[in-house]
């Protein structure tokens, strides 16, 4: 049974601020939380990205329980929002952007001239990863479905492989970023491609879960305001329709980043 309740306005603790939420976003990890793959205490509020205001100042951050009208957040976890895009669109940045940044720079250590394969470039992390790898000067081969190909091309991919009709491209890559769930045989193929393998999904190669890093988030905001990185919003939906977003995600109907406005 679904029941709607009014809850009190949260009160910030020492070191926290109250954020009036403009938008949050959906991330695939939210499905894992809902399926019980991570230990949580119920009741639990989903969503980990926030774009909103603190006393009228636009901010973004990676937080807990952002799927609400208001959320209390440690002030140190927030950074100024980009000035060049709508505030609600900035909700797409924290988790996906930090995951891409850490995959590209911290783990794969992508630099100019490297040949890179990004497996799953059509997702939210993939959009940022392609742009950051290109910004680093890499030659990027990306896998994407036909519905995502145009967006991936616009992000700067040098070559696009339609994974629905073609196998992973043969060749030697100095870095392979795996951003999708692959079967064991697919994982073996990625390893066989050579180079440094970084995975944000299945535990192969260098497998990691992105950490919160406000310095990196500020760096990403600077690249967005400089026009180097674009924030691609695939859909804007209401937070009240979060259940439908989850159903669509489970049916494989989502592309890129879906933001949820309050």
In order of start, what are the domains of the chain with their CATH numbers? 16-93+231-261 (3.90.180.10), 97-207 (3.40.50.720)
CA 193 to chain centre: 25
- Which residues touch 259 (CB under 8 Å, ≥6 apart)? 23, 24, 25, 26, 88, 89, 91, 92, 233, 235, 236, 237
- The per-residue pLDDT string of the chain (262 residues; one tens digit each, 9 = 90 and over) reads 445 567 789 999 999 999 999 999 999 989 888 887 778 888 889 999 999 999 999 999 999 999 999 999 999 999 999 999 999 999 999 999 999 999 999 999 999 999 999 999 999 999 999 999 999 999 999 999 998 999 999 999 999 999 888 888 877 899 999 999 888 778 778 888 878 999 999 999 999 999 999 999 999 999 999 999 999 999 999 999 999 999 999 998 888 899 999 9
């Amino acid at each position: 049974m679904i029941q709607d309740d009014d809850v009190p306005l949260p009160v910030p603790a020492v070191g926290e601020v109250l954020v009036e939420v403009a938008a949050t976003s959906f991330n695939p990890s939210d499905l894992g939380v809902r399926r019980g793959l991570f230990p949580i205490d119920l009741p639990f509020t989903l969503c980990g990205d926030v774009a909103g205001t603190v006393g009228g100042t636009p901010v973004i951050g990676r937080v807990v329980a952002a799927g609400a009208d208001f959320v209390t957040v440690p002030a140190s976890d927030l950074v100024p929002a980009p000035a060049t895009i709508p505030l609600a669109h900035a909700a797409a940045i924290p988790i996906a952007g930090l995951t891409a940044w850490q995959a590209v720079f911290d783990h794969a250590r992508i630099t100019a001239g490297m040949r890179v394969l990004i497996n799953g470039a059509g997702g939210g992390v993939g959009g940022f990863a392609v742009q950051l790898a290109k910004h680093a000067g890499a030659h990027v081969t990306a896998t994407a479905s036909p519905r995502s190909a145009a967006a991936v091309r616009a992000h700067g991919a040098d070559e696009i492989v339609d994974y629905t009709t073609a196998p992973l491209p043969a060749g030697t890559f100095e870095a392979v970023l795996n951003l999708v769930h692959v079967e064991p045989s697919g994982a073996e193929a990625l390893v066989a491609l050579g180079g440094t393998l970084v995975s944000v999904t299945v535990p192969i190669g260098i497998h990691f879960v992105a950490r919160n890093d406000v310095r990196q988030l500020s760096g990403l905001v600077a690249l967005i305001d400089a026009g180097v990185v674009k924030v691609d919003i695939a859909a804007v939906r209401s937070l009240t329709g979060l259940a439908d977003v989850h159903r669509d995600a489970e049916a494989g109907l989502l592309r890129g980043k879906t933001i949820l406005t309050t």
